[in-house]
Structure 1
Amino acid sequence: MAEEVSSLILQPELDSLTTDAKASADFSKETAELIPKSEALAKAGRLNEALDELMLLEKKTRQASDGVSSTKLVQLMLRLQREAGEWEKLNGSITLMSKKRGQLKRVIVDMVQLAMKWIEETPSHKEKLKLITTLSSVTEGKIFVEVERSRVVKKLAEIKEAEGDIESASQLLQDVQVETFGAMDRREKAEYILEQMRLVLARREYVRCQIIAKKINPKLLEAEDFQDIKRKFYELLIQMHIEETQSYQQSAGKGREVKLKHEQATDDGSQLDSARYLEISKSFYAIFETPSVKSGDWKNVLECYIIYLLLASFTNEQKDLLNKVSTLEQKRLEQLDHFKQLVSDFLKSELISWPLKYEADLRNHAVFTDSPHAGGDLRWNLFKKRVGQHDLMVISKYYTRITLDRLASLLTLSRTETEAEIAELVTSRFLQAKIDRPSGIVVFGGRDESTDRLNIWSSDIKRILDLTEESSKLVEKERMIHSAKLKKTK
């Protein structure tokens, strides 16, 4: 309702920008007579003479706001120049006609649309670039040809990209705010935004890519005719998160040389990357939920979803998603080698023995290779870390104190690696533990605050009083029953 009201308010202003005044005279008869005459002059090699006569009548039709006749005359001018191979004159005529005083909007729209059809017919790359540049200049700042301008700019960006100038191509598309175009088809608009995302990713501008991605409404992607666009959109998001993670890991690797004391805590950038891995897994699940994928090649997508979900840090959300896939996709998991067991292992409160029984098959999965995304070895090391952290969380449920050597043995890690894993989980607040290095003992569980201890004491007192009250009631009940029986016997 609000959109309808706003459109009614803005309609008068928009009409003045997109429509022409009513015609004050009709030049259709004069136009019909001049067209064959001009064509004959052009065939006789007298192109300039034909153009002069057409421009004289065009001026009259323009001043009279006769859009139909004016459009026919302007289009004929351009057509005659194209047939004569005068591409330089054609570009000049397009610019000249668009700058004429009081030029009709209909004429500009039809002229631009006609010239756009000839872009691929230009005799050389140079002429093609000139025509595209001319159309881009003519349509700039004109709301009634915003869709045409976006298409012309896209062609220009394609040329720049082919020449290797990714920066210029990306900047050209970013300058076009297609999300505000009401006349553009929603599918074309979505494809345009995806192209913006792709070029921005090519420049490794990850923050800008996230901003552009928000221009697409996720609800729109659920439409039946948007399944291919939905898949491409989430594939770009996956690429963005993986490349951003890879970029951080490389910078973190360089930082180790300077910050040695934080070497283990920042290894693989796991703390900061966990959120990205969770987003990657969600993107894979969104692709998996696409009907065309569920009825087709869904196995690899579901496998990637599970692996990236396990690479994320241990949180309530991650555990909920694991339980969800284990329950809802139980039949599909049975068709995936080892993945049902993998999900089950991480959900159970049991130790996962390393190396895994199915380690060889899992190690060869695409996620743990450098194709299609680099960083397979880092992801494998992080997966091994997650297995160790899972085992550490399980041990903390059954032990309050344990020697560091015994803990390292259970985790199949060295003492140094075990300390690093404990430190990371404690820093992330997923685990409460302390390490007594001199005695080599790990104590699980945090120190109770005074308020917590007071609450526990208060709860215990309340429970004792409740039990006492309940017991007294039962004793009184038995006493009354016994007294009643004695009275009956007397």
Structure 2
Amino acid sequence: MLEMLDVLMRKRAQTKPVQSAMIAECSVVLHDGSLSKGKEEEVLGRLAHSTENKIHVELEHARFTIELAQLHEAAGRKRSAYDMLRALQIETITNMPRLEKLDALNRQIRLCLELEDYEHAPLISRKINYRALGREEAQEKKMVYFDLMRQYYAKKNSFFNIGRCWYETYLTVKETDKKLTALSNAALHYLISEHSSAKELEDMAECTAFCPGTKMADRATALSEICKRLKSDLEDLPLLYFLLQRFNSIELMRGKIGSRLHELCNTHAELIHFPERQKLLHDRCSEHDLMVVARFYSRIPLQRLGQLVGLSPEHAEAFIMTMVTNGTLYAKMDRVDGLVVFQPPKNATQVVASWNENVDRSVTLLDKISHLITKERVLHNMAAAVGSQVSGQRPCG
């Protein structure tokens, strides 16, 4: 049968519908369960070869190749399976029926991760968009996809995007316990995520499958938004909700959360076995306190700064250097006087503009106060007038 198929497929006078019908007939024989594993692999190989570079049977060629890759993977030949799938034209896969396409792309991403090909994985992931994953019948494939993307982002140490993947999972699952687990993991990864601009985060995402509802400009926006949007569910996670509130406040928190931070590190599944993530969480607390100090002080002695944030002067200086390098904070060290200066220098134009803004604000407040005083006087006079009229109308005793 296979030899005859090869001959007929090579005949120039053979019409395309006839060739498609022959391939369909071979597929029936292939899947009727009469072939052994070894024979099935041989038949699949011949069919994949016979349909190669023939556009009218390109979908059949893709299916045969994918099935052959599955057999190779089951036999432990992952590299061979990966090479077969990589040789497929990605446009052919994207023309397959939706669920079949998602399954094939997920398999390619998984093999890329298992074989540590982290350059090819994002190229495949971009072929899946959020509209395809948003359909009801694709929810299972969506869960698999975001699980794979979490593994990819973990290798890249992109905790912000791991949090976004967990947020997508939270929006997808229906069971209450799974939703709370996904929300807990999303909140935690947002807490330990990097301080990056919106452009940098978008470049690191390398993914078109995130829905617009999970898009956040940066870490601070993410922490604020999930507290507002998901308050009712976060109340079922009191420890994380408490920390999120502290991070969203403009108060020093190092001395207030020590025990709760220790408890979270010892109980959360995404922290307990990851010392580097525990360190990141502690570092984010120190960075928050430094930004709070920078908000209220234009300059402060380094010794006093260390006391406020609970760090030694050397550690405080190291944190400041890191944050300045990342663009999270503006600061300069005056080593002669031992001062940290948080206020950037201003030129004459900026000083005048700032002064003008302050004057405008003061005048606006004075106008508002004057209006309120006038209003109170009018109300008082009206009350006095009404009172005098009432007393004047009383009958004489």
Q: TM-score, normalised by structure 1?
A: 0.64
Q: Does residue 247 of structure 2 align to residue 346 of structure 1?
A: yes
Which of the numbers 254, 260, 267 marks the counterpart of 1:358? Answer: 260
1:271-321: CA deviation from partner (whole Å, max 9, x where unpaired): xxxxx222221221111111x346561111001111111112346632222
Query: Corresponding residue for 2:141?
Result: 229
Q: Check 1:457–1:327 CA distance in 2 against 1; reply closer, same or farther (3 A cut).
A: closer
Query: Corresponding residue for 1:102?
Result: 13
Q: Check 1:430–1:146 CA distance in 2 against 1; reply closer, same or farther (3 A cut).
A: same
Indicate the SS of the match to 2:293: helix
Q: Check 1:459–1:309 CA distance in 2 against 1; reply closer, same or farther (3 A cut).
A: closer
1:40-59: CA deviation from partner (whole Å, max 9, x where unpaired): xxxxxxxxxxxxxxxxxxxx
Contact 1:432 1:446 in 2 (8 A): yes
Contact 2:62 2:93 in 1 (8 A): no
Q: Which runs of 5+ in 2 are unaligned?
A: 198-216, 366-397
Q: Which residue type is aligned with residue 342 of structure 2?
A: F
Of 318-327 and 377-386, the range deviating more from structure 2: 318-327
Indicate the SS of the match to 1:442: strand
Which of the numbers 266, 269, 277 marks the counterpart of 1:379? Answer: 277
Q: Check 1:465–1:148 CA distance in 2 against 1; reply closer, same or farther (3 A cut).
A: closer
Of 389-398 and 406-415, the range deviating more from structure 2: 406-415
Q: Check 1:369–1:172 CA distance in 2 against 1; reply closer, same or farther (3 A cut).
A: farther
Indicate the SS of the match to 1:420: helix
Q: How does 1:405-416 map to 2 (within 5 A)?
A: 405-416=303-314
Contact 2:299 2:343 in 1 (8 A): no
Q: Does residue 53 of structure 2 align to residue 141 of structure 1?
A: yes
Contact 2:94 2:101 in 1 (8 A): no
Deviation at 1:194, TM superposition (A): 1.3
Query: Corresponding residue for 1:116?
Result: 27
Deviation at 1:221, TM superposition (A): 1.2
Q: Calculate percent identity across the aligned residue pairs.
A: 28
Deviation at 1:369, TM superposition (A): 4.2
Q: Does residue 68 of structure 2 align to residue 156 of structure 1?
A: yes
Deviation at 1:367, TM superposition (A): 1.6
Contact 1:241 1:280 in 2 (8 A): yes
Indicate the SS of the match to 1:304: helix
Distance 1:312 1:208 in 2: 24
Q: Which residue type is aligned with residue 366 of structure 1?
A: A
Query: Corresponding residue for 2:183?
Result: 302
Q: How does 1:13-92 map to 2 (within 5 A)?
A: 90-92=1-3
* Structure whose alpha-carbon radius of gyration is higher: 1
Contact 1:91 1:130 in 2 (8 A): no
Contact 1:94 1:134 in 2 (8 A): no
Distance 1:416 1:105 in 2: 76
Query: Corresponding residue for 1:311?
Result: 192
Query: Corresponding residue for 2:152?
Result: 240
1:72-112: CA deviation from partner (whole Å, max 9, x where unpaired): xxxxxxxxxxxxxxxxxx33222223223422333332332
Contact 2:193 2:219 in 1 (8 A): yes
Q: Does residue 206 of structure 2 align to residue 325 of structure 1?
A: no
Distance 2:93 2:70 in 1: 21
Query: Corresponding residue for 2:170?
Result: 288
* RCO comparison, higher one (Cα < 8 Å, 6+): 2
Deviation at 1:178, TM superposition (A): 5.0
* Number of equivalenced pairs: 344
Q: Which residue type is aligned with residue 190 of structure 2?
A: L
Distance 1:466 1:125 in 2: 83
Deviation at 1:142, TM superposition (A): 1.6
Q: Which residue type is aligned with residue 21 of structure 2?
A: D
1:13-59: CA deviation from partner (whole Å, max 9, x where unpaired): xxxxxxxxxxxxxxxxxxxxxxxxxxxxxxxxxxxxxxxxxxxxxxx
Deviation at 1:123, TM superposition (A): 5.3
Q: Check 1:95–1:454 CA distance in 2 against 1; reply closer, same or farther (3 A cut).
A: same
Q: CA RMSD in A?
A: 2.8
Contact 1:433 1:444 in 2 (8 A): yes
Indicate the SS of the match to 1:239: helix
Q: Which residue type is aligned with residue 224 of structure 2?
A: N
Deviation at 1:412, TM superposition (A): 2.4
Q: TM-score, normalised by structure 2?
A: 0.78
Deviation at 1:436, TM superposition (A): 2.5
Distance 2:40 2:18 in 1: 22
Of 324-333 and 403-412, the range deviating more from structure 2: 403-412
Which of the numbers 80, 83, 86 marks the counterpart of 1:168? Answer: 80
Q: Which residue type is aligned with residue 289 of structure 1?
A: L
Indicate the SS of the match to 1:435: strand
Contact 1:434 1:443 in 2 (8 A): yes
Contact 1:179 1:189 in 2 (8 A): no
Deviation at 1:387, TM superposition (A): 0.7
Query: Corresponding residue for 1:258?
Result: none
Indicate the SS of the match to 2:258: coil
Of 190-199 and 163-172, the range deviating more from structure 2: 163-172
Distance 2:111 2:94 in 1: 24
Which of the numbers 173, 176, 188 marks the counterpart of 2:100? Answer: 188
Deviation at 1:419, TM superposition (A): 0.8
Deviation at 1:382, TM superposition (A): 1.1
Which of the numbers 442, 453, 473 marks the counterpart of 2:340? Answer: 442
